[in-house]
Structure 1
Amino acid sequence: MRAGNSRAAALLVAGAFFMEFLDGTVISTAAPDMAASLHVRPVDIGVTMTAYLVTVAVLIPVSGWAADRYGARRVFTWAIGLFTVASLLCATAASLPELVAMRVVQGAGGAMMVPVGRLVVLRGTAKPDLLRAVAYLTWPGLVAPVLAPVLGGLFTTYASWRWIFLVNVPLGALALVLALRLIPDGLREADRPPLDLVGFVLGGSGVAALVYGMELLGAQPPEWAVAGGTTAAGALLCALAARHLLRARHPLIDLRTLRVRTFLVSNAGGALFRAAITTVPFLLPLMFQGAFGWSAAASGLALIGVFAGNIAVKPFTTPLLRRFGFRRVLVVNGAATAVTFVLCGLIGTGTPMAAVVAALFIGGVCRSISLSGYTTIAFADIEPDRTSTANALSSTVQQLATGMGVAFAALALRAAGPLSSLVGLRGPAAPYQMAFMLLALLPLAAVAEAVRLAPDAGSSVTGSPPVHPAGPPRRVSDRSAR
């Protein structure tokens, strides 16, 4: 793929990712109006979000196999079409069961659309150009969670909740036309083995149970027994799936890619970091509205500070990684991210708005740098013939990390109540402040993973000379990979 087409394809996939990510979270703001329109309780609308997220989680692992078997271009364009048509049907739904059914179809399109699109970019981009291409692919994950409450509120207030889905129709149609022009045909493996049904059933069921269990942990009120049982069942199924995948001759996902140290650290530390940054758009609006008494509009506008930080640092992310290397940037920036959580915990009712926006802006800068680093280094040492299965595994981990973030935020907020009294915090904002202090441990845990990287890790994509140019990619032992 030529450099110009590679850049355009990366932007196209980024736009598709934005649509998919936005539709997974934007409904929460519009839930009351949707409930009134469909004649159900607001709490019942949550099933539409769960159905979508679970469908995405279940089908992501099969995306690599489908792209190799039927061609990345064919699967990507069909996924866009399915997502677009399902969005139109969601907008015209007349009942909750109808909306849930269409959300499942929409989730199926999203599950194939984003991982396969990213696979196209990874396969068509040379290693030295990977940093810039991945920079395009990471911005939707940074921007969508911040803009979702704002857009949901605007659509609901000034139009209708149905526009949350209708806006995808022209965007999807444009993406389909561009995909047919930009995505090359022939990106497939002629001798791809049959689908690993046992791995798909075990892995899909396990991931679905984990995502659903995490959703229940974040529910109001929490269903502890059901959430705990579902999460435990999901963990057991995932363990059985891992056992099968390590023994299967043609596994759905090759877990042996975790022997590549950069890939392992990117997914382990990256999952912790992604879970950490997911908590911020979840907790801040609750604190601003519930503790400070701000309006929904003021709360949403304050979060624009995070968005501004994400965008402002983008031109400098690639030069930073090239100049200082992945390990140093991820370690220093991970520690800085923990500091931004502490800053959020210090925000009070008397904090000037300028200081609030400045703290959120710094947080946005840190989010953007680390997420670009983790996403890029994941594929720095992956051989071309393993890109497909590595991409599917990485996408699944990212989906789980997002669910983990909401669950961690809810658990931290509940634990913060008694803890805030013990440390002398008072007032309605005290539980939120304490929760941010607790959640600062997540990016610090990600730092502990980043330290395990070699000084020259990712040199193939930064263009820096490796410390051991003649040596193979660094791998962990079989024992530590398991």
Structure 2
Amino acid sequence: MAGVLFMEHLDGTILVTAAPRIAADLGVGSAEIGLAMTVYLVTVATFIPVGGWLAGRFGARRVFCASIAVFTLASVLCAASTSLPALVAGRALQGLGGALMVPVGQLLVLRATDRRDLLRAIAWITWPALLAPVLAPLLGGLLTSWASWHWIFLVNVPVGAVALVAALRLVRDVETERRPLDAPGLLWTTVTVFGLVAGLQLVADPGWAPAGAGLLCAAALSGVAAVRWLLRSAHPLLDLRVYRIAGYRAANSGGLVYRAVVSSVPFLLPLLFQDGFGRSPVESGLLVTAVFLGNVGIKPATTPLLRRFGFRPVLLGSVAGGAACLAAFLLLAPATPLWLVTALLLLSGALRSVGFTAYNSLQFADVEPGRLSSANTLSATGAQLATGLGIAVGALVLQLAASAAPALPSAGDLFPHRVAFAVMAVLLLAPLLGALRLPPGTAAHVAGRLPRTAASRRAG
């Protein structure tokens, strides 16, 4: 599950460094290749909500295996593309496969995992979302430079083949709720998610900003209609009542902002190093790899940390520490010692790994088995939206700050980047306040820290 999730997340951003080479081969402008990235992200987010229903209707194991096959086949079609329309069509099919792999694969893991093992299971399926965006620029650059852009997609073939064989042999089907398709709920939800993701992708582009704003308005209206319908329907596509669970609500409100901010960092850092510091794409990619090393280095300690201190202290520490790292990025300059930059990136990667694991574990701690499908689908959709939101906000702040810089005599070349990191640091105050409001013993049964009784405290 972790392997296919890594593959899906990697393909969301790996085209960035290969865009000029692909554009030259296909005879289009580099900016037009952005359409292939956008259609992938939009398709993934749009079709995630239907994954839970498909799993109940046809069986989670069958849908999961089919999604791996679709994703792998689409990767071959992308590599064989000789025109931009063919590439976009292949990416759309790839996004469809990825959209089903995400919620259905996670549902298989959650259904098969005992509450006592939830922390370890979540830790395993969390790292793809952390590592893939960080490694994508470097891996895309290396494959494009040493081989050809086609290998960006062809590397998925052996991974997908191994994953499919493993899934057929190892994955057991899990019991899921079979319910009739909520067609109105599907319609309103699809329009909402499509409008949000597509609007966020377009609103940061000055040429497409009006269209993006229109899509966001349409998404807001359809979102209101979707909520009204889903709360009234006898068999809703998504059960919004799951938000009444305190831990789930906290992980998908403040946690949504946290995911958005964390997702913006791999986008903002390469721009800082390349445009602000004048480093090459390879040097920039190697520097950002320090975030990856921080993620991996702390991973064995994430579960022990949650078991030792509990969810509330760990969330407070990781969110506050993440905000401090973003604030420290404001002080970086081309002359900053390389060891200090690397140390800061390592710390940032470690903190984001701990925070991601804590939020992802907290959200399912108190969800009943009957609601897991809806809770998982809502969470996967929110995570995808948060990724798009974080990148869109980061790009928008950069553009606005760059436009305002000429009017400010004291603003230097690093001004737009510093403003972007400052805004992201301030945004982390929302999840910090949310973590402060959590009760001290939140999800203690999952962390393995059962609250002590009054008698035991007196005896102690």
SS of match in other structure, 1:382 = coil
1:196 alignment partner, one of 175, 182, 202:
182
Alignment map for 1:141-156 (pairs within 5 Å)? 141-156=129-144
What residue number does 2:442 align with? 457
SS of match in other structure, 2:186 = helix
1:354 alignment partner, one of 339, 352, 355:
339
Are the equivalent residues in 1 in contact too, given 2:203–2:211 (CA < 8 A)? no
1:320 alignment partner, one of 276, 297, 305:
305
What residue number does 1:41 align with? 29
Amino acid at match of 2:374: T
- What per-residue deviation string (whole Å, max 9, x for no partner) do you get for residues 409-431 of structure 1? 01222343477789985321122
Alignment map for 1:128-139 (pairs within 5 Å)? 128-139=116-127
Q: Distance in 2 between matches of 1:222 and 1:130?
A: 46
Structure 1 421/128 Cα, relative in aligned 2: closer, same or farther at 3 Å? farther
Give the Å deviation of 1:179. 0.3
Give the Å deviation of 1:104. 1.0
2:71 aligned with 1:86, yes or no?
Answer: no
Alignment map for 1:151-230 (pairs within 5 Å)? 151-189=139-177, 192-219=178-205, 221=206, 223-230=208-215
- What per-residue deviation string (whole Å, max 9, x for no partner) do you get for residues 290-320 of structure 1? 1211100000000011011101111111111
Alignment map for 1:301-450 (pairs within 5 Å)? 301-417=286-402, 426-450=411-435
What residue number does 1:127 align with? 115
Q: Distance in 2 between matches of 1:20 and 1:91?
A: 16
Q: TM-score, normalised to structure 1's length? A: 0.91
Amino acid at match of 1:282: F
Structure 1 116/223 Cα, relative in aligned 2: closer, same or farther at 3 Å? same
- What per-residue deviation string (whole Å, max 9, x for no partner) do you get for residues 390-442 of structure 1? 10000000010000001110122234347778998532112211221121012
Are the equivalent residues in 2 in contact too, given 1:54–1:212 (CA < 8 A)? yes
SS of match in other structure, 2:449 = coil
- What per-residue deviation string (whole Å, max 9, x for no partner) do you get for residues 90-136 of structure 1? 11011111111111111111000121111011010000100011001
Q: Distance in 2 between matches of 1:89 and 1:79?
A: 15
Amino acid at match of 1:42: S
- What per-residue deviation string (whole Å, max 9, x for no partner) do you get for residues 424-467 of structure 1? 85321122112211210122211111222211111121111147
Structure 1 20/424 Cα, relative in aligned 2: closer, same or farther at 3 Å? same
Are the equivalent residues in 1 in contact too, given 2:74–2:91 (CA < 8 A)? yes
Q: Distance in 1 between matches of 2:34 and 2:362?
A: 35
What residue number does 2:59 align with? 71
Give the Å deviation of 1:370. 0.4
Structure 1 414/80 Cα, relative in aligned 2: closer, same or farther at 3 Å? same
Number of positions where the alignment pairs a residue of Structure 1 with one of Structure 2: 454
Q: Distance in 1 between matches of 2:204 and 2:271?
A: 13
Give the Å deviation of 1:468. 8.7
- What per-residue deviation string (whole Å, max 9, x for no partner) do you get for residues 32-81 of structure 1? 11111111111111111111111111110011111112111100000000
Structure 1 186/406 Cα, relative in aligned 2: closer, same or farther at 3 Å? closer
2:266 alignment partner, one of 261, 274, 281:
281
Give the Å deviation of 1:321. 0.8
Q: Distance in 1 between matches of 2:318 and 2:207?
A: 34
Give the Å deviation of 1:325. 0.9
Amino acid at match of 1:217: V
SS of match in other structure, 2:333 = coil
Are the equivalent residues in 1 in contact too, given 2:112–2:174 (CA < 8 A)? no
2:28 aligned with 1:31, yes or no?
Answer: no
What residue number does 1:19 align with? 7
Give the Å deviation of 1:232. 1.4
Q: Distance in 2 between matches of 1:259 and 1:401?
A: 21
Q: Distance in 2 between matches of 1:424 and 1:383?
A: 58
Amino acid at match of 1:453: L
2:218 aligned with 1:233, yes or no?
Answer: yes
Structure 1 123/423 Cα, relative in aligned 2: closer, same or farther at 3 Å? farther
| Unpaired segments ≥5 residues, structure 2 | 455-460
Q: Distance in 1 between matches of 2:405 and 2:81?
A: 45
Q: Distance in 2 between matches of 1:411 and 1:83?
A: 31
What residue number does 1:297 align with? 282
Q: Distance in 2 between matches of 1:281 and 1:397?
A: 19
Amino acid at match of 1:124: A
Structure 1 467/204 Cα, relative in aligned 2: closer, same or farther at 3 Å? farther
Q: Distance in 1 between matches of 2:453 and 2:309?
A: 17
Q: Distance in 2 between matches of 1:352 and 1:222?
A: 39
Are the equivalent residues in 1 in contact too, given 2:108–2:173 (CA < 8 A)? no
Q: Distance in 2 between matches of 1:45 and 1:464?
A: 50
Amino acid at match of 2:306: L
Q: Distance in 2 between matches of 1:54 and 1:420?
A: 32
Amino acid at match of 1:240: A
- What per-residue deviation string (whole Å, max 9, x for no partner) do you get for residues 321-364 of structure 1? 11111111111221110000011111111111111111111110
SS of match in other structure, 2:123 = helix
Q: Quick check: 122-131 or 49-58, which moved more? A: 49-58
Are the equivalent residues in 2 in contact too, given 1:412–1:439 (CA < 8 A)? no
Structure 1 367/223 Cα, relative in aligned 2: closer, same or farther at 3 Å? same
Q: TM-score, normalised to structure 2's length? A: 0.96
Amino acid at match of 2:186: F
Q: Distance in 1 between matches of 2:361 and 2:122?
A: 6
Are the equivalent residues in 1 in contact too, given 2:68–2:164 (CA < 8 A)? yes
SS of match in other structure, 1:313 = helix
What residue number does 1:9 align with? none
Are the equivalent residues in 2 in contact too, given 1:345–1:435 (CA < 8 A)? no
| Unpaired segments ≥5 residues, structure 1 | 1-12, 470-482
Q: Distance in 2 between matches of 1:461 and 1:251?
A: 29
Between the two proteins, what is the percent identity of the paired residues?
A: 50
Give the Å deviation of 1:188. 3.2
Amino acid at match of 2:48: I
Q: Distance in 2 between matches of 1:430 and 1:92?
A: 42
Structure 1 364/52 Cα, relative in aligned 2: closer, same or farther at 3 Å? same
